[in-house]
Amino acid sequence: MDSVRTNQLTGAEAMVRMLQAHGVDHMFGLCGDTTLPFYDALARLDHGITHYLTRDERHAAYMADAYARVTGKPGVCEGPSGGGATYILPGLIEAHDSSVPVLAITTDVATTSRGKYPLTELDQVALMRPLTKWNASLDQAARLPAGLRQAFRAMTTGRPGSVHLALPFDTQKGVVDEAEIWADPRHRAFPAERAAPDPQAVRDAVDVLEGAHRAVAICGGGPVLAGAEAELAELAEALDLPVATTVSGQGALAEIHPQALGVVGSNGGVPATRAVVDDADVVVFIGCRAGSVTTERWRSPAPGKTIIHIDSDPAVIGANYPTDVAVCADAKLALRALLSEIGLRSDLRAQGGTRRATAAWVTKDAAFRQLAESPERPIRPEAVMAALMEVLDDEAVICADPGTPCPYFSAYYRWRTPGRHFITNRAHGALGYSLAAAMGAQVGRPGAKVLSVMGDGSFGFCCGEFETLVRYNLPITSIVFSNAVFGWIKAGQNAGFGQRFYNVDFGRTDHAAVARAFGVKSWTVEDPAQLVQVLREAVDHDGPTLVDVISQPLHDAAAPVSEWVA
């Protein structure tokens, strides 16, 4: 019997070819001993993938996360065994719980070495299991292509999330049939294979809206992940429905839209926006988990409201509020279905969204302007928000760390166009996220001006990556709120623990000097009158820049965080 000869690849070569087949253009990672065959394949093969060398694996994962958010394609990061696998974890759990598809490939010791105490051995699959949507070890080279296809299918379908593949050293040197190198093109982007809503659930939702007098929509990250901005705007206009967002949902609706209410919740919400939610008779959650921050620990909206909940994840619906109508579907398809049903009816009542949203913005803006125009030193964070709104164009992308930046951007920076223009790590809030996220966003959206905004606590977590920033000459502007304190914790001690300040203050760093040592053009600003001029110069520079703002600490500020307000 005649046999058909096939071309053969090594496992490392097959990994490169499978990434190429899935449309991967960029990846982020860090080398290690167990990665040598994989890196050799990347060096030898013509594949079109640009690999960005980072200074640690944590930031490689953060870069992949933000890259996925701005491109709509899965992000890919990689690292070696042992410490590399443990360092990459924070980025995977952040991406997974933010519904962002990130593939992490961590190389591993050979399968034949397991149990013999080789250097860097650990059970990677057990380590990653609770943190990812799906994960496996590619212990057989012949199964590598199928494993890659399963990884891309898992992270892009249903609720997107992170996945992990361990790639043992002997698998990288094993044999793979080249005929197995193929990919399903549907899984090159997300969300893939969207789920449509039950028609009866759609009719039930419109029945509820038909009887509503003061409905309000609260959008989480779902509409932005689903690309449902146009459908959401059409729904808001059809019903004159006020639309609020969570921090992650910013960009679901342009905040200059007549029905846009802005952010609600304990981080970035203000009394004027909270009042609209509290006054509502019907609340429509759209791609929103109704978690503790959005609802101010489930106090706003108060129990007893009529709830319509739209989400692609059935586990989310009804988890925190008794739900009158559950619409389990992709946000884009669900909103399209609602609009279609609304179009069949002529007696739907307008919900007064323009009037209610405008009143909230007027109240909020008046308080903001009074603080933003203050000549006080240290500089108020509101002054930085006002200056950035004057300097940046509509296409800018801002990546913000938790702590000082997040509540101010959420409450006061008014996003003029819909879409992904604001990225912050709302799932777990690890410090040091924004610089790496900005690099991933800049790679994914090279024509946009990208900013990284951080506190000085976050600066200490990430400053090594300024070398990466300079090496690739990414024209990112970093802004540091310099106040020599872990501000969020001190503000909590100030508000709820009798001002017993314990171990939250640290020494002041000259962040501009540190950045300058890496080759970053840098400024320090102490006078709010200089902010616009310096920020404009930093933003217009054609390379990496940093502005160190000597700023008011959160415990002395009027931060829009409800738990700190007396």
Domain that holds residue 302: 199-356
- On the question of pLDDT at 138 being above 80, the answer is yes
What would the pLDDT profile of 26-42 be if each residue is shown by its tens digit? 999 999 999 999 999 99
| Residue 565 pLDDT class (50, 70, 90 cuts) | confident
pLDDT of residue 458: 96
Q: What is the CATH number of the domain that holds 327?
A: 3.40.50.1220
Q: What is the CATH number of the domain that holds 142?
A: 3.40.50.970
pLDDT of residue 403: 87
| Residue 3 pLDDT class (50, 70, 90 cuts) | very low
pLDDT of residue 566: 58
Same domain as 174, residue 71? yes
Nearest-angstrom CA–CA distance, 382 and 385: 5
| Any domain includes 300 | yes
Nearest-angstrom CA–CA distance, 163 and 76: 10
What would the pLDDT profile of 140-178 be if each residue is shown by its tens digit? 999 999 999 999 999 999 999 999 999 999 999 999 999
Same domain as 108, residue 243? no
Nearest-angstrom CA–CA distance, 375 and 92: 42
Looking at 330, 356, 382, which one is the last position of a domain? 356
Nearest-angstrom CA–CA distance, 54 and 32: 12
- On the question of pLDDT at 2 being above 60, the answer is no
Closest among 343, 314, 316, 341 to 329, alpha carbons compared: 314
Closest among 101, 103, 49, 57 to 80, alpha carbons compared: 57
370 token code pair: 């009074």
Concatenated DSSP letters of 5-25:
---EEEHHHHHHHHHHHTT--
- On the question of pLDDT at 1 being above 80, the answer is no
Same domain as 395, residue 299? no
| Any domain includes 364 | no
Looking at 323, 356, 389, which one is the last position of a domain? 356
The total of structural domains in the chain comes to: 3
Nearest-angstrom CA–CA distance, 482 and 548: 7
Cis preceding-peptide flag for 378 (omega within 30 of 0): yes
Same domain as 407, residue 311? no
Same domain as 23, residue 141? yes
Same domain as 219, residue 179? no
What would the pLDDT profile of 69-95 be if each residue is shown by its tens digit? 999 999 999 999 999 999 999 999 999
| Any domain includes 43 | yes
What would the pLDDT profile of 370-412 be if each residue is shown by its tens digit? 999 999 999 999 999 999 999 999 999 999 999 899 999 999 9
Q: Mean of the pLDDT values across residues 509-527?
A: 98
DSSP 8-class letter at 403: T
Q: Mean of the pLDDT values across residues 494-517?
A: 96
Same domain as 300, residue 252? yes
Nearest-angstrom CA–CA distance, 350 and 239: 5
pLDDT of residue 347: 80
| Any domain includes 434 | yes
Instruction: Give me the phi and psi of 216, to 5 degrees please.
Output: -145, 140
What would the pLDDT profile of 329-379 be if each residue is shown by its tens digit? 999 999 999 999 999 987 889 999 999 999 999 999 999 999 999 999 999
Nearest-angstrom CA–CA distance, 243 and 213: 15
- On the question of pLDDT at 5 being above 60, the answer is no
- On the question of pLDDT at 4 being above 50, the answer is no
Looking at 131, 160, 188, which one is the last position of a domain? 188
Q: Is 245 helix (H, G, I), strand (E, B) or coil?
A: strand
Residue-averaged pLDDT of the chain: 96
Please enumerate in sequence order all residues whose Cβ is within 8 A of that of 160, keeping only pairs 6 or more positions apart, or say none.
Answer: 99, 100, 101, 133, 190, 191, 225
Nearest-angstrom CA–CA distance, 440 and 465: 12
| Any domain includes 473 | yes
pLDDT of residue 6: 63
- On the question of pLDDT at 273 being above 50, the answer is yes
| Any domain includes 194 | no
| Any domain includes 368 | no
Same domain as 203, residue 183? no
Same domain as 258, residue 318? yes
| Any domain includes 3 | no
Same domain as 524, residue 456? yes
Q: Are 447 and 72 in contact (CB under 8 A)?
A: no
Same domain as 72, residue 20? yes
Identify the bridge partners of residue 104 per DSSP, sorted by sequence position: 77, 164
Q: Mean of the pLDDT values across residues 492-501?
A: 95
Nearest-angstrom CA–CA distance, 238 and 345: 11
Same domain as 80, residue 41? yes
182-186, 284-288, 562-566: the lowest-pLDDT one: 562-566
What would the pLDDT profile of 169-222 be if each residue is shown by its tens digit? 999 999 999 999 999 999 999 999 999 999 999 999 999 999 999 999 999 999
Closest among 153, 157, 312 to 220, alpha carbons compared: 312
